[in-house]
Amino acid sequence: MDNKMPVPNHIAIIMDGNGRWAKKRFLPRTAGHAAGAEAFRRTANYCRSIGVKYLTVYAFSTENWKRSEEEISGIMKLMGKYLKEAITDMEKNRVRFKVFGDISRLSPELQKLCTDAQERSAQYDDVQVNFCLNYGGRDEIVRATKAFAKDVAEGKRQPEELTEQMLSGYLYSADVPDPELIIRPSGEMRTSNFLLWQSAYSEYVFLNVLWPDFQPKHLDEAIMEYNRRNRRFGGA
């Protein structure tokens, strides 16, 4: 990476292609997710080393519950293993960890790992990793709307005072700036219900590499593409 290259403050990634990576190797899908977890570790470390302040990754969507029980339990097991190992790393590297999503549907053990990791890392502010787990963009907006409606019903808010900024404060991403760059590997070109509200002005970069094969050079490539684009926010 060229040291003078500007780096986005917040990068978000749809970690896609684990299943195809495994299929190509005649391996079970879970092996693809395990390789995907390694790619995440590698990418998170690289992002930290080049000065990215926020990294948001799509780990499990509200739609992913439709997959086989075997695959879901494989992914959940990997998450548990990863979180156990990651807590010490987060402390060493001063990384704040946040979950975006409804964790109440996860096993009690995994819920505890998530809350412990969030609590233990809340004091750090060098880098923040947002882990989207049982996350859906529409679901997030519905939850925010309900929370606002509840505040109105309780007399804490007036309907007229609602602004975009206020609604943002009810999202999982309250206090997190919007991502400037969203990367989707694996050749798919969809947003798949990821960060619907926050991506209003994000640049999308789609890469033809399966997530488990994702390397620092792919991140560099996405950042270079991002830097080449003229970002105008709808202005002239």
Kindly state the smallest distance separating residue 152's Cβ from ligand FPP, in Å: 36
Binding marks (x or -) toward ligand FPP, 36..75, rule CB under 6 A? xx--x------------------xx---x----------x
What's the Rg (C-alpha) of the chain?
A: 18
**Nearest residue (CB) to ligand FPP, 172 versus 211:** 211
Among residues 222, 219, 181, the alpha carbon closest in space to that of 198 is found at 181
**Nearest residue (CB) to ligand FPP, 16 versus 203:** 16
**Token code pair at residue 74:** 């494989």
Residue 179 touches ligand FPP, criterion: CB under 6 A: no
Kindly state the smallest distance separating residue 40's Cβ from ligand FPP, in Å: 4
- Binding residue for ligand FPP (CB under 6 A) from 16, 139, 178, 203? 16
Footprint (CB under 6 A) of ligand FPP, residues 81-100: 82
Kindly state the smallest distance separating residue 64's Cβ from ligand FPP, in Å: 5
Residue 121 touches ligand FPP, criterion: CB under 6 A: no
The answer to whether 126 is a known catalytic residue is: no
Among residues 53, 64, 172, 69, the alpha carbon closest in space to that of 124 is found at 53
The answer to whether 64 is a known catalytic residue is: yes
Residue 137 touches ligand FPP, criterion: CB under 6 A: no
Residue 31 touches ligand FPP, criterion: CB under 6 A: no
Residue 207 touches ligand FPP, criterion: CB under 6 A: no
**Nearest residue (CB) to ligand FPP, 8 versus 74:** 74
Size of interface with ligand FPP, in residues (CB under 6 A):
17
How far apart are alpha carbons 221 and 219 in whole angstroms? 5
From the candidates 3, 9, 16, 116, which is the catalytic residue? 16
Residue 17 touches ligand FPP, criterion: CB under 6 A: yes
Active site (catalytic) residues? 16, 64
Positions touching ligand FPP (CB under 6 A) are: 15-20, 33, 36-37, 40, 59-60, 64, 75, 78-79, 82
